[in-house]
Amino acid sequence: MLHVNTRQAILPHPVTVHIGLKPVETVKSFVNFIAPGEDLGVSETSPRLYRVVDGCLAVYHLLADGRRQITDIIGPGRAIAQQPAHDGNRSIKALTYTEVEVLDPAANPALAAETALEALMRLTRHATLLGRMNAAEKVANGLLDLAEQFPRKLRQGRPVLTLYLTRSDLADWLGLTIETVSRTLNQFKRDGVIDYAHAEIVTLTRPERLKEIASGNNPTTSARSSKGKAA
Amino acid sequence: MLHVNTRQAILPHPVTVHIGLKPVETVKSFVNFIAPGEDLGVSETSPRLYRVVDGCLAVYHLLADGRRQITDIIGPGRAIAQQPAHDGNRSIKALTYTEVEVLDPAANPALAAETALEALMRLTRHATLLGRMNAAEKVANGLLDLAEQFPRKLRQGRPVLTLYLTRSDLADWLGLTIETVSRTLNQFKRDGVIDYAHAEIVTLTRPERLKEIASGNNPTTSARSSKGKAA
DNA sequence: CGCAGTCTTGAGTGAGTTCAATCCCTGTGG
DNA sequence: CCACAGGGATTGAACTCACTCAAGACTGCG
């Protein structure tokens, strides 16, 4: 139901790009531009490998009654595999104007394998976040992840990130409600841990403190962990 | 710290086993027996592919302070890939005496690919469970999963399952506390949805009701869903 | 300038946690 | 054969974190 302005362009190939630390050679790529809210590859017939050049993708899973869980957020440099058969209600959509490189997994087996492995590792860590962390820990971890994936120029030596996610996206990613996300972010702001004026540009004013909160070390809210009682 | 009685046996090969619906041919397999509590392949140097012949494995992830999240439970017929470098605190342990077939992923690329794909799909659904479901829905979904993976002979036409998980395992799998798991199971028992006497053998006395609860249709507890407000 | 979408903030509530006591079962040793 | 110990499971009572409901503020847009 949204403005569909997907354009395509043939690129010179092969192309070499960096994922993680290893340069990965790719072949037969072309480029797609996706508008915010638009879905990725819903009508594909063959498995596809996508790599984000610029922008932000959200992988999500829907329940019959409309509940949504975003299982991963994908930024520039990272890749994602999309199965043809719309694998089990899993979809991918763009959270901003996003440029993706479309690749053939058969022609890029190394990237395909690495992509699957990274997805699994990230999702494992995210499952732990969802099942075993409280709101502050969830939001702190989310912010640190996004700061790595969507870095802007440092401001007075502090990391700055572009926040493509709305409060609703953050909530569906972190397993919270929008109100709790809003309250937690504003609490962090009041505590001087982060700062933002325009809501889509966030500065980590005390990144080391944020890391402490993310790992459960919370001196102020003394020893309030959650369910998983430390052994 | 536990009794280590891991034995190995060379098997005739190739061997054909069924995973899902497709028969998958494997080569150069041998068999490992793992005792309950024992870890799987902690000291491996090369990537390994394991397939459970009999028993039950738990894939889990630990936080620095001891909190634990079990990300998957693996029963007979299912496979799992273990990376050499102890991938990011992810470990695998046996919940009962378990017989696994050890395979070389390079020699079984089809199984390796399918294994990764299945792991990702299951973990995606589990993330949704962890982030967006209430206790009753979590436990109902968990039971239905286990009933498929660990079936026993039907009792009066009803599915029966072997429950290898303790309350503590269930809690760490479903993102709850042992008390909530216990209360929910006993509530199901009181409602006549499930039945058990010996705690490791559970009968689904009303499987269709359990499926309703699992999918959020809860007429009795009328319309008490959770955070993810139905769109 | 008004509308719609997003975000914030407050007040009240409740699902699930924490804490704690008890029970149950099995294995062990006198 | 029975007493005791220990791990797991159950149950109750109290609490609390995050949710629900609701109102208001902010922003961009037609």
Q: Cβ contacts (< 8 Å) between A69 and chain B: which residues?
A: 127-128, 131-132, 228
Per-residue pLDDT reduced to its tens digit, B96-132? 999 999 999 889 988 998 899 899 999 999 999 999 9
Per-residue pLDDT reduced to its tens digit, A49-79? 999 999 999 999 999 999 999 999 999 999 9
Question: Token pair 């359990």 is at which residue?
Answer: B210
Contact yes or no for B69 and A123 at CB 8 A: no
B138 vs B132: CA distance, rounded Å: 9
For residue B225, which of B141, B140, B132, B144 has the smallest C-alpha distance?
B132
Q: Is the C-beta atom of B177 closer than 7 angstroms to strand C? A: yes
pLDDT for residue A14: 40
3-class state of residue B130 by DSSP: helix
pLDDT over 90, % of chain B? 62
pLDDT for residue B45: 72
3-class state of residue A118 by DSSP: helix
Contact yes or no for B65 and A230 at CB 8 A: yes
Q: Is the C-beta atom of B227 closer than 7 angstroms to strand D? A: yes
Q: Is the C-beta atom of B71 closer than 7 angstroms to strand C? A: no
pLDDT for residue A12: 33
pLDDT over 70, % of chain A? 78
pLDDT for residue A184: 97
Please give the average per-residue pLDDT across A32-44, as a whole number: 80
Which nucleotides in chain C lie less than 7 Å from some protein C-beta? 6-11, 14-20
Please name every residue paired with A226 in a beta bridge, in sequence order, or none if there are none. none
CA B93 to chain centre: 11
Asked if A119 reaches chain B (Cβ–Cβ under 8 Å), the answer is yes
Nearest to A128 among B61, B128, B230 (CB): B61
CA of A24 to C1' of C19 (A): 54
Asked whether the beta carbons of B102 and B29 are under 8 A apart, the reply is yes
Q: Cβ contacts (< 8 Å) between B175 and chain A: which residues?
A: 130-132, 227
Per-residue pLDDT reduced to its tens digit, B64-107? 999 999 999 999 999 999 876 656 678 999 999 999 999 998 89
Distance from CA of B126 to the nearest CA of A (A): 8
- pLDDT grade for B229, boundaries at 50, 70 and 90: low
Answer whether residue B221 shows pLDDT above 80: no
Per-residue pLDDT reduced to its tens digit, A92-127? 999 999 999 999 988 998 899 889 989 999 999 999
**Of B111 and B220, the one with more pLDDT:** B111
Binning chain B into helix, strand and coil, the percentages to the nearest 5 are 30, 30, 40
pLDDT over 90, % of chain A? 62
Nearest to B125 among A88, A132, A176 (CB): A88
Distant-in-sequence, close-in-space partners of A138: CB < 8 Å, separation ≥ 6: A129, A130, A174, A175, A176
- pLDDT grade for A48, boundaries at 50, 70 and 90: confident
Which nucleotides in chain D lie less than 7 Å from some protein C-beta? 8-13, 17-22
Please count the helices (runs of H) and the strands (runs of E) in chain B.
Answer: 5, 13
Nearest to A228 among B59, B68, B132 (CB): B68
Q: Cβ contacts (< 8 Å) between B230 and chain A: which residues?
A: 65-67
Answer whether residue B225 shows pLDDT above 50: no
Per-residue pLDDT reduced to its tens digit, A138-150? 999 999 999 999 9
pLDDT over 70, % of chain B? 78
Per-residue pLDDT reduced to its tens digit, A1-35? 333 333 333 333 344 444 444 445 555 568 888 88
Write the DSSP assignment of B29-43 as a string of letters.
Answer: -EEEEE-TT-BSSTT
Nearest to B130 among A116, A125, A131 (CB): A131
Nearest residue on chain B to A124, alpha-carbon basis: B71
- Is pTM beyond 0.85 here? yes
Per-residue pLDDT reduced to its tens digit, B177-210? 999 999 999 999 999 999 998 888 999 999 999 9
**Of A189 and B230, the one with more pLDDT:** A189
Which region among A66-75, A158-167, B46-55 has the lowest average model confidence (pLDDT)? B46-55
Nearest residue on chain A to B132, alpha-carbon basis: A175
Domains within chain A, CATH numbers bracketed? 6-126 (2.60.120.10), 133-230 (1.10.10.10)
Q: Is the C-beta atom of B224 closer than 7 angstroms to strand C? A: yes
> Which parts of chain B fold into alpha helices (H)?
109-132, 135-149, 167-174, 178-190, 207-214
B151 vs A128: CA distance, rounded Å: 28
Across chain A, mean pLDDT equals 84
Asked whether the beta carbons of A101 and A31 are under 8 A apart, the reply is yes
Distance from CA of A135 to the nearest CA of B (A): 12
- pLDDT grade for A181, boundaries at 50, 70 and 90: very high
Per-residue pLDDT reduced to its tens digit, A208-218? 999 999 999 87
For residue A53, which of A4, A102, A125 has the smallest C-alpha distance?
A102
pLDDT for residue A230: 54
pLDDT for residue A10: 33
Please give the average per-residue pLDDT across B10-25, as a whole number: 43
